Structure 1
Amino acid sequence: MFENLSDRLERSFKILKGQGRITEINIAESLKEIRRALIEADVNYKVAKSFTDEVKQKAIGQEVIKAVNPSQMIVKIVHDELAALMGGTATPINLKENPAVILVSGLQGSGKTTFSGKLALHLKKKGRGVLLIGGDIYRPAAIDQLKVLGEQIGVEVYSEPDNKTDAVALVQNGIRYAKSKGGTFNTIIIDTAGRLAIDEQMMREIAAIKEAVRPSETLFVVDSMTGQDAVNTAREFNERLDFDGVVLTKLDGDTRGGAAISIHSVVDKPLKFVSMGEKMEALDVFHPERMADRILGMGDIVSLVEKAQEQFDEEEARKLQKKLARDQFTMQDFLNQIQQIKKMGNIKDLASMIPGVGKALKDVDMDNSVFKQTEAIIQSMTPAERENPGLLNGVRKARVAKGSGTDVAAVNRLLKQFDQTRKMMKMVAGGGGAMARMAGAAAMMRRKR
């Protein structure tokens, strides 16, 4: 995500190195490169031009203090302007009403149904009682898909499989059902029908649903891989629906990032969530300033820590810390930590949130499959061997290797790595459980590279 844009921006900043002051002459080439970089990233041309004009206005004539060179100064200005362009600060969804009704809209194939499931899990983790309503009466698999997702995350789904004609009545019935449950549900998420393109029937139906249920929040879901088409579609939807915020899906795909950068400027509505990956946990609140950090290669350590906090139970973290302090960390603990880290998302994306690491890993082919061999070896051990790896003699190692589809050399490498990781995690345990886990993950990545 944004790798090409980050590289182009970095090259544009280098043009100013060695200058003592930012002037209209020496900044011209940098601004030209910045504008090209944005346009190549599929940012709207008018937005790109307006952006560089704003950067130029704020940069020219600024004194460069001794500790900061002009290229560093322009990075700061571009960072601030990027954050402002994307909305400035995070905008939360409105959950004040009881029940809070969230209407999810968008074209077919944009990821509405998957997002609805992800949002339900996101809110459930925050203690909300969530009901999903399957309001797509046209696509046969839509309700089935929502039910599968609901079962996966433990959220009830209301649907009417026999209703093929009246989506408005279905949604109203679903809300009545939620209210009849005596406070069980304080949040209702409505997944609506999409079309392959904007059409009058679709717009009339979604407008009628909004008028009937008067939602607390209307979200427009758009596939970021469609680039500027995503921005144009958002503009057309907003003119008819006046939605409250935008959700960008598939941001981990083959996308240049232009939609994320320019959509707020074009429709004047905040980006509220970004979705990356198929896992139900792969949903992030959109923070413009953090996204600007990532675009400029500065990492996003705050989001990384938040992801860790979401996945790790505090009581379990305290128990683990005690085990680390007593040097009682076992193979089973190691396996548990790997599985929890995997839930946080793609390991390369997580590593890129650490300042300086993303650039170093740019050309490294790495994903969560790096854990498969380690998991297979540990899972081939007996409970006693996981608790005490010292039991693994030559015969036992051969059995474990056969059971995991590896060889004895791979088992020996894991045992050596486990011993090194245990020592490292013990050293950093005093800094908190999350730091220990990060150290373990780093050890895993070093072994695989």
Structure 2
Amino acid sequence: MSERVTAGRMGGLITLSAADALWADLTAGSVVPTAPAAFTRSPAHAQAGYVLLGGCVVATVKAGGGQWSVVETEVRRAAAELNVVEMDGRDLVRIGPFRDGAKQEHHEGTLLRWRRRVARELRERDEPERADGRLCHLAGIDWRRMLVEQTRDGVQRTWWLPRAVVRLLDVAEHTETRWLRAARTRQADTTVTEESSSHRPPRTVDAPRTPSPDCLTAPLRPYNEELKGHLYSVLSRKPGISRKVAQWACAVCRTAPAAVLDHCHEHGYVRAPVCQSCNTQERPDHLYSNRIRVANRYTRLFHTDAAEWLRHWHRCPGCRARTTLPLPHLAAWTAHIACRSLRPTHRDPGSSRGRNPCGALRVSWAGSHHAPTSCQFTVAVDLCPSGEHRVLAHVPYREAVERFRTWLAETVPAVAAEAGPDRLDDLPTQFRPVIADTSGEGLALF
């Protein structure tokens, strides 16, 4: 460890410059790249009373001589939590640009607003006045080293970050919101106390006062189907719903704070509150309004974590009653599962026996999304050596539904047993009109 870290110690406190060095030393081996000067460069602001490091809040205090400092053990705790984060650089989440950027501000109390900060810098980075480097990091994380830019159709540019980093930054926003609310509560309590005992002299701050966990707001509560059967169009317009949703843990991963209300675009019913990462993973990867790309993440949706995701999708009464999935999800399942044996393969150069699927899998459908039963799925492979757009199969909607029901009963019998109109006590007497799926462009936040 550098000498200036050791020299900065004062009774458990270290200066901000020493904390910068300590943070860099402790996170040197982290899979999530960290930024230098996490305590002293923008957007960190010690005078606010805290600094965000990953998903942790490190309180800042003004020690003797008026110098801002932090508790060394708090820096070490934040570094230890970051070092255990696992990251798959291929598992990416689209973070923009979206048509309605204002909808992304779902945490009313947070100052991080990492999506807005990233979008602003990426849109304005070519302007000379942005060359000052004022947006150095986000919660001590060097997000630029992980940013992936993709171009669709040679025109539309999109930005992506690893899912683990997106989840970490969402947790940072949530933690900051809770810390600020607790700080305001403590300040209000202190004001009342001082007014009732104004004869006492002011207390000099010469020791660290980190926030106690008991001072924070209540921990995230698990989602227990409180929103079952609610219509998204009604619930999303209720005042204060975003703050209420943020108090739940994500109904899918159960670890991150919920940020959005995931809902069925086909029937209009709320499924559950989920975090941004799970919401992005759940959303079909639309190329156009009637075409999706079947990406590698569908392996998780229909294989490794199939039980969780199928149970989540069937929180919609419409999908559960019909024992099916929304049209884009059923299309992805048809291409990824029902037509898996039809996809061409090629030899893996790194193995003498293995073979890899060829090209990029794509599925489109003809017919109106307002009447899914009239649709027909076309499963194809793009960039296949046997043909640029090799068609593998044409599958009518009704046939795809029957295949899905058979597969569901074999794969997740517990979910299948709860499906069907004869097993639903809360089956709506009249289904809502189909809602156009706009999730390919926006985050569908409230």
TM-score of Structure 1 vs Structure 2, range by shorter chain: under 0.3
Q: Which fold has the larger relative contact order, with Cα–Cα distance below 8 Å and residues 6 or more apart in sequence? A: 1
User: TM-score, with normalisation over the residues of structure 2?
Assistant: 0.25
Q: Which structure shows the higher strand fraction?
A: 2
Q: Which structure shows the higher helix fraction?
A: 1
